[in-house]
Structure 1
Amino acid sequence: MNNKMIIGNTEALCLPELGIARLHTRVDTGAKTSSLHVDNIVCLKEDGEKYVEFDLHPDIYHLEETVRCKSKLKASRKIKSSNGESEHRCVIETMLEIGGKQWPIDITLSNRQDMTYMMLLGRQGMSDKVIVDPNESFLLRSDS
């Protein structure tokens, strides 16, 4: 337990393989999976491998900014949202960087346009590496 970092209910994290730094993210211990708000999802096949391309909004204060990302498609899963509705979502695996540490996480791609944060970090993405202090936010400072 001593080597776990303490994070708040909101943190700025990086997704270096997608070229995203300081993405304000809601930390949600009630959610099993992590999800990312994206637009314009396109599935494609290259050299027998399945990929997904999508537009990501890295800054909640400047939604007109988008970054076109491409990642290998890991799976398609049926996910039940907090309102009880189920939908099929694309799943990618990418590196998460927070507090100077990195580890791979699965992220579902979804439309979170009505949500305040572009990403939700769920329990699986936290792995056994963090402890969440729900009363605090932005406990970790990043130079990225």
Structure 2
Amino acid sequence: MTNNKHLVGALELCDLPFLSLNGLEARVDTGATTSSLHVDNILEFEKMGEAWIKFDIHPDIHDVSQVVQREAKVKSVRRVKSSNATLQKRHVIETDILIAGTQWSIELTLTDRSEMKYLMLLGREAMSGRLIVDPELEFVLGKPA
């Protein structure tokens, strides 16, 4: 820990407790502004007069046959430039992340990352003031089971 910031590598495990997702392998990417999570089958609905979404997720990247459905309140819908420079409409949710025994709120865009190696991308807005990244390292905070 340096200046109250935890050292992390290019890959780390994290939990999204409000979504009941544990041990997600996240790609830590200081080049990405926002964080994103791979989901499928987004369905918009209204709950108590507010916009919500249901979506499917494969919590274990090594076992894509496992699928769970989650729902979350929509914070916003944004146009985001993807890694291949195309503009995409993405739902944004706010949820907590747990890394290194510390829990805080982040914004998470939901998108199809099926062409990417990792389900989750942790962007610099979520890391700001909390994490220091050493891109030579992986799983500084603990290795996957």
Task: Map Cα deviations across residues 57-107 of structure 1 (whole Å, 9 max, x no partner).
Answer: 111100111111111100000000121100100000000000000000000
Hey, what's the Cα distance between the residues in 2 that align with 1:116 and 1:74?
26
Instruction: Give the C-alpha shift of residue 142 in structure 1.
Output: 8.0
Identify the residue that residue 51 of structure 2 maps to in structure 1: 50
Hey, what's the Cα distance between the residues in 1 that align with 2:75 and 2:143?
28
Q: Which runs of 5+ in 2 are unaligned?
A: none
- Give the secondary structure class of the aligned counterpart of 1:17: helix
Hey, what's the Cα distance between the residues in 1 that align with 2:100 and 2:68?
23
- Tell me the amino acid that sits aligned with residue 98 of structure 2: E
Identical counterparts, % of pairs: 48
Identify the residue that residue 37 of structure 1 maps to in structure 2: 38
- Give the secondary structure class of the aligned counterpart of 1:104: strand
2:8 maps to 1:3: no
Hey, what's the Cα distance between the residues in 2 that align with 1:2 and 1:87?
36
Instruction: Give the C-alpha shift of residue 47 in structure 1.
Output: 1.2
Instruction: Spell out structure 1 runs of 4+ moving beyond 3 A.
Output: none
Q: TM-score, normalised by structure 2?
A: 0.95
Identify the residue that residue 79 of structure 2 maps to in structure 1: 78
Instruction: Give the C-alpha shift of residue 141 in structure 1.
Output: 2.4
Q: TM-score, normalised by structure 1?
A: 0.96
Aligned pair count reads 143
Identify the residue that residue 111 of structure 2 maps to in structure 1: 110
